[in-house]
Structure 1
Amino acid sequence: MYLAGSKARQDAGDQAAPTSVGRRVAGAGTTAIALGSVSLLTDLSSEMVTAVLPLYLVVGLGMSPLQFGLLDGLYNGVTAFVRLLGGHVADRWSRHKLVAGIGYALSAVCKPLLLLAGANTTALSATLAVDRIGKGIRTAPRDALISLSVDDAHQGRAFGVHRAMDTAGALAGPLVAFLLLWLVADAFDAVFMVSFCVASLGVLVLIAFVPGRTAPATTEPRPTLRQTVGIVRGPRFRRLLIAATLLGLVTIGDGFLYLGVQDRVHIDTAFFPLLPLGSAAVYLLLAVPFGRWADRIGRRVPFLLGNVALLGAYLVPLLPLAPVVLIPAVLGLLGVFYAATDGVLMALAGPLIPRSNRAGGMALLQTGQAAGRLLAAVLFGAAWTLWGAAPAFGGAACALLAAVVVAVVLIRPESRGSSASDALEDAS
């Protein structure tokens, strides 16, 4: 294959000529495409489990929204405690592929362990925590590989291509889970085992086709953890970190939005796993266009507009809309949110971080988001349990609106053509 044959060229080209690599694959780079293939398989595996998890926990096991919020916060937020370590180790060893591979393998191994956990909440929590540790370890090194493989002008497009392929897996995962549950009632064991097989295939693709990074040709010492954390001294990066963390603090999990739709329109439980398909389809369609748009006009505006779309998703369940309108509106707005913020935020941050600390800097940003979302899930679950769904969504909408206003002030417009100086400023 082209990816395999170009592996040696990519290892050298990522350092020497990222612009030419970008032109060869419409500005995206072969590394982004190879990692996109890995993420497609991994997300297919993960979303098979994620799609049935809210139903399994709340309906099957009878958990309260507060209990689900605690587990959802753990599932999405435990990565906050390992992202920084994974990013720092990848930078220090200059082995981004190896560290990312460890994270992918760890998550794959956890899938069959869900069978052993059964209805034991402690065992289930521990298994989900280990799975998220794997995600936390791999995310920053993976994004650093993408960012370092293209020049600053193509960051948005490269992340858009990767996120689109990633979302293709997210789109297929719930569909596979739905088909398995449709064919065999309560076939959670089949879902978990098929998920494991697909995740294992993703690890093999990573080993075979993703170019590894080698240490840069420099006499400078390898970055220390103190230097990685010291990136926050850069004013532009620090403001972005504060804004992203604040927005994460008011971003509830997708599962709550799906449960909110279920609470309003009472969808048949057999069709519940299909809800993520709508948001994933919108994300898939818009990830690359938003990435290209962000490269052209600057990444700040799409990122902020994406959070406004999330605000709309919070408000829609409060409106007296028919199911035929309410369901597409919530799923569509959620898809726009991810398309305009996920990869765009990494593209916005990349030029502000020195190349030698790229994984660690991105890990700092992702850690802030993950820590905020962990607390958001717990608080929203508690609010739903105490006051009901409508007050909880109304409160979340007000909090998000305030956070967006603060983010508008904190995130300054990008200075076109000054990315290199921005990174040096943040390193000083």
Structure 2
Amino acid sequence: MKSSLLTKNVIILSLVSFFTDVASEMLYPVMPIYLSSIGFSVLLIGILEGVAEATAGMSKGYFGKLSDNQGKRLPFVQLGYTLSAISKPLLVAYVFPLWVFFARTLDRFGKGLRTGARDALLSDEATNATKGRVFGFHRAMDTLGAVVGPLLALLYLAYRPEDYKMLFLLAFLPGILAISFTFIIREKKREKPQQISKTSFLDFIRYWKESPAAYRKLLVPLLIFSLFNHSDVFLLLKLKEAGLGDTHVIGLYIFFNLVYALFAYPLGSLADRWGMKRVFAFGLFIFAAVYLGMGYADHFWMFIALFLLYGLFSAATEGVAKAWVTNISQPKDTATAIGTYTAFQSIAALMASSFAGFVWYSLGPEFLFLVSGTVALLIGLYLNFSKM
């Protein structure tokens, strides 16, 4: 690992993401339980998460475009992480449904606010030959937070069972650390736009028409895959359906994130040497194997193997996709390119989960996993043999 690849800004941004994910994932095991305890039905929880994710998705595109138009990155990063941090204690300040909707949406709004600008800062710290490693390291640190967070939550709840409110307040502490680190980041000087144009909420959609042909050619298969890459909740539901207890389910979730964190940097480095397309297609082939296997798995050891592979899939695709997108976009449009991609991806993911819920209950989980796995296999083959 060459020190020149991982600059001060890359390391600090990765630590910011680590502490933010620790805060968010501390609440992962208890969020549905807490919401149920204050009177939220399963339907209302679904609506809450749908609204929150839609807010994050649409705001990613808008604020990515705004960051490029203003020629600034750091203010979006600092404010975005601040909003996500303060949303944690706000969630338990009051139990009124509208207040909970506000606090949860504030968290996702913060994510939308920072994503494009943060990834543009990461892109500024790398060359086309090192993007995979830089984004891979960032994803590794971010996902390590998804390992530490649930472990801290399980440890706390072992000593203080059902003390959910205090856990939400404690989650504010790593959030404060994340905010503090953002003030050490030093944004590189950029040429100020001669004229700052007004940015409307859907301006990022116009970028689709103005973007390079290579960008659109890449995003079409990526977004088609997103339409069939539904929420991980359905994988966890499969574990519950197979008879696994909560401890085993959460344990497998932590195991998946640990594999993801360990392999994100090596696979990002491999993408720099072998090419983004090959590694991403390899990830889709792994996804296909996982989903085709998940439909028929019924033993704990099989789930361990599948979640190990699922961690490899995430490590081979998430950071690599962003590195690939930044490599084929103009530096002045980096935040817009990332924001547009992640906005459309969020919308596609929302549609995917809605579709998955319908298929699960009407045709069964085996058919759902078969369809998703087959689509991933076809897109992987397309990418592998296409010229990009």
In structure 2, what residue type is equivalent to 1:33?
I
**Unaligned 5+ residue runs, structure 1?**
1-22, 416-428
Q: Deviations over 1:163-212 (max 9, x none)?
A: 111111111001011111111111211221111111111001111x2122
- State the SS of the aligned residue for 1:116: coil
Query: Where in structure 2 are the equivalents of 1:76-91 lying within 5 Å?
Result: 76-91=53-68
Instruction: Give the superposed CA RMSD.
Output: 2.8
Change (3 A) 1:212 1:51: farther
Match of 1:294 in 2: 271
Distance 1:353 1:387 in 2: 42
- State the SS of the aligned residue for 2:178: helix
Tell me by how many angstroms 1:359 deviates. Answer: 0.5
Query: Where in structure 2 are the equivalents of 1:4-83 lying within 5 Å?
Result: 25-56=3-34, 63-64=41-42, 68-83=45-60
Tell me by how many angstroms 1:46 deviates. Answer: 0.8
Match of 1:20 in 2: none
Answer with 252-261 or 355-364: which moved more.
252-261
Change (3 A) 1:171 1:26: farther
Change (3 A) 1:350 1:381: same
In structure 2, what residue type is equivalent to 1:102?
L
Query: Where in structure 2 are the equivalents of 1:24-423 lying within 5 Å?
Result: 25-56=3-34, 63-64=41-42, 68-118=45-95, 121-207=97-183, 209-216=184-191, 221=195, 225=199, 229-230=206-207, 232=209, 233-267=211-245, 269=246, 272-323=249-300, 325-384=301-360, 386-387=361-362, 391-402=364-375, 404-406=377-379, 408-409=381-382
Contact 1:114–1:192, Cα closer than 8 Å, also in 2: yes
Tell me by how many angstroms 1:130 deviates. Answer: 1.7
Q: Deviations over 1:350-386 (max 9, x none)?
A: 12111111111110111111111111122223333x3
Contact 1:51–1:276, Cα closer than 8 Å, also in 2: no
Tell me by how many angstroms 1:223 deviates. Answer: 6.8
Contact 1:290–1:340, Cα closer than 8 Å, also in 2: yes
In structure 2, what residue type is equivalent to 1:409?
Y
Tell me by how many angstroms 1:121 deviates. Answer: 4.7
Normalising by structure 1, what TM-score? 0.81
Contact 2:17–2:142, Cα closer than 8 Å, also in 1: yes
Distance 2:224 2:32 in 1: 25
Contact 1:156–1:347, Cα closer than 8 Å, also in 2: yes
Tell me by how many angstroms 1:152 deviates. Answer: 0.8
Change (3 A) 1:275 1:320: closer
Contact 2:294–2:369, Cα closer than 8 Å, also in 1: no
Tell me by how many angstroms 1:71 deviates. Answer: 3.9
Distance 1:369 1:128 in 2: 20
- State the SS of the aligned residue for 2:6: coil
Tell me by how many angstroms 1:410 deviates. Answer: 6.1
Change (3 A) 1:322 1:280: same
* Percent of matched pairs sharing the same residue: 27
Contact 1:147–1:350, Cα closer than 8 Å, also in 2: yes
Tell me by how many angstroms 1:392 deviates. Answer: 3.3
